[in-house]
Amino acid sequence: MKGISTKYPIIVDAMGGDFAPMEIIKGVLETVNRHSAAIKLVGNIDAIQKVADSEGLDISDIEISPSIQEVGMGESPSDVLKNKKGSSIYIGSQLVGQGNGSAFLSAGNTGAVMACSLFNIRRIKGVLRPAIAAVIPLADSRFILIDAGANADCKPIYLAQFALMGKVYSENILGVKDPKIGIVNIGEEEKKGSKLTIEANKILKGMKGLDFVGNIEGREMFEGGADVVVTDGFTGNVILKVLEGLAKMFFGEVKSVLTSSVISKMAALTLKKPLKEVKNKFDYENYGGAQLLGLNAPVVISHGSSKARAVRNAIRVGHESLQTDIVEKIKKEIKLYK
CATH architecture of 1-127+294-327: 3-Layer(aba) Sandwich (3.40)
* Domain residue extents for the chain: 1-127+294-327, 135-284
The pLDDT, as a whole number, for residue 1 is 44
The pLDDT, as a whole number, for residue 7 is 66
Q: For residues 20 and 298, what is the distance between their CA atoms, to the nearest angstrom?
A: 21
What angle, rounded to 10 degrees, do the helices at 22-34 and 308-323 form? 50
The pLDDT, as a whole number, for residue 282 is 67
Give the H or E element holding residue 300: strand 299-301
Q: Which tens digits make up the pLDDT trace of 233-243?
A: 999 999 999 98
The pLDDT, as a whole number, for residue 260 is 84
Q: For residues 29 and 10, what is the distance between their CA atoms, to the nearest angstrom?
A: 13
Q: Do domains 1-127+294-327 and 135-284 have the same CATH topology?
A: yes
Distances (CA, A) of 248 to 137, 144, 158, 279: 15, 21, 32, 10
The pLDDT, as a whole number, for residue 8 is 83
C-beta separation of 24 from 59 below 8 A = no
Q: For residues 325 and 152, what is the distance between their CA atoms, to the nearest angstrom?
A: 28
CATH H-level superfamily of 135-284: Isopropylmalate Dehydrogenase (3.40.718.10)
Residue stretches of the chain with pLDDT short of 50:
1-5
The pLDDT, as a whole number, for residue 3 is 40
- Name the 3-class secondary structure at 150: coil
Q: Which residues pair with 290 in a beta bridge?
A: 301
Spatial CA neighbour of 215 closest among 236, 186, 180: 186
